[in-house]
Amino acid sequence: MMSAVYRKATNLAKRKGGSHGQIVNLFAADSQLIFDGMVNIVPGLVAPIQLLGAVVFLGFYVSYYCLIVVAVFVISLPLTVFLGNNIASFRRKIQAMADIRLKLTTEFVQGIRIVKYYAWEESFIRTILESRSDEMVYVRKLALTRSLIVFMVNNTSTLSLAFVLLFYGIFGPGLSVADAFTIIAIMNVTRQPFAMASVAYVLFTYNKASMDRVGDFLGYPEKEH
């Protein structure tokens, strides 16, 4: 990914491609985010199979009450999709603002002689700080949304276990201590598929913004040889 961005950057037509800030951001952030995300997205593809196996195994102990686990997962899915789409939107805005901030910083450093000569330091610094402040608004929103997803991922399995024990204890034929510990062990197995499936989708939406940015950049016209 980085090599493709590098080859494109060295062959861009003048005034037809991205700014210096965008190119630096593609190298420093987007390419690395895509690489890190793919490592965790692939295991998420097999998470539903693992979850299905655990639910079937749970059915041997609690009968059709095992479907409560599926119901909780299905109910939590729209919330995961909603939060994941918000993360992708926030990520696009953050990267766009980061491009502007890096462009301003690069221009400030490259033109430091003229900036010092005309005493433009305060004006440049104020502009850069204002750009950073606008970026931080969405950084905070992104952090809040990610914390909500982490909370949901970490507690979905626990909520499923609570509902299974509650309904089976009330309406079921009874639950022995040995079976209760077995059910808890099986539900602990479902914790990882729950987390992997949710995290995989969130990372996909999170990195889709970076993939779109890299794709748009690679589509810029190149200089004629």
Give the pLDDT confidence score for residue 121 in this predicted structure. Answer: 84
pLDDT reading at 225 higher than 60: no
pLDDT reading at 197 higher than 80: no
More confident residue, 160 or 209: 160
Q: What is the 3-state secondary structure (H, E, C) of the chain?
A: CHHHHHHHHHCECCCCCCCHHHHHHHHHHHHHHHHHHHHHHHHHHCHHHHHHHHHHHHHHHHHHHHHHHHHHHHHHHHHHHHHHHHHHHHHHHHHHHHHHHHHHHHHHHHCHHHHHHCCCHHHHHHHHHHHHHHHHHHHHHHHHHHHHHHHHHHHHHHHHHHHHHHHHHHHCCCCCHHHHHHHHHHHHHHHHHHHHHHHHHHHHHHHHHHHHHHHHHHCCCECCC
Give the pLDDT confidence score for residue 142 in this predicted structure. Answer: 87
pLDDT mean over 95-102: 83
Q: Where are the domains of the chain?
A: 51-93+138-213
In the chain, % of residues over pLDDT 70: 92
pLDDT reading at 31 higher than 60: yes
pLDDT reading at 90 higher than 70: yes
Give the confidence band of 21 by pLDDT, cuts at 50, 70, 90.
low
pLDDT mean over 65-70: 86
pLDDT reading at 63 higher than 90: no
**What is the average pLDDT score of the chain?**
80
Give the pLDDT confidence score for residue 13 in this predicted structure. Answer: 65
Give the pLDDT confidence score for residue 38 in this predicted structure. Answer: 73
Tell if the pTM clears 0.75, that is, is over it: no
pLDDT reading at 20 higher than 70: no
pLDDT reading at 127 higher than 80: yes
More confident residue, 175 or 155: 155
Give the pLDDT confidence score for residue 144 in this predicted structure. Answer: 92
In the chain, % of residues over pLDDT 90: 2
pLDDT mean over 30-53: 76
pLDDT reading at 140 higher than 90: yes
More confident residue, 74 or 208: 74
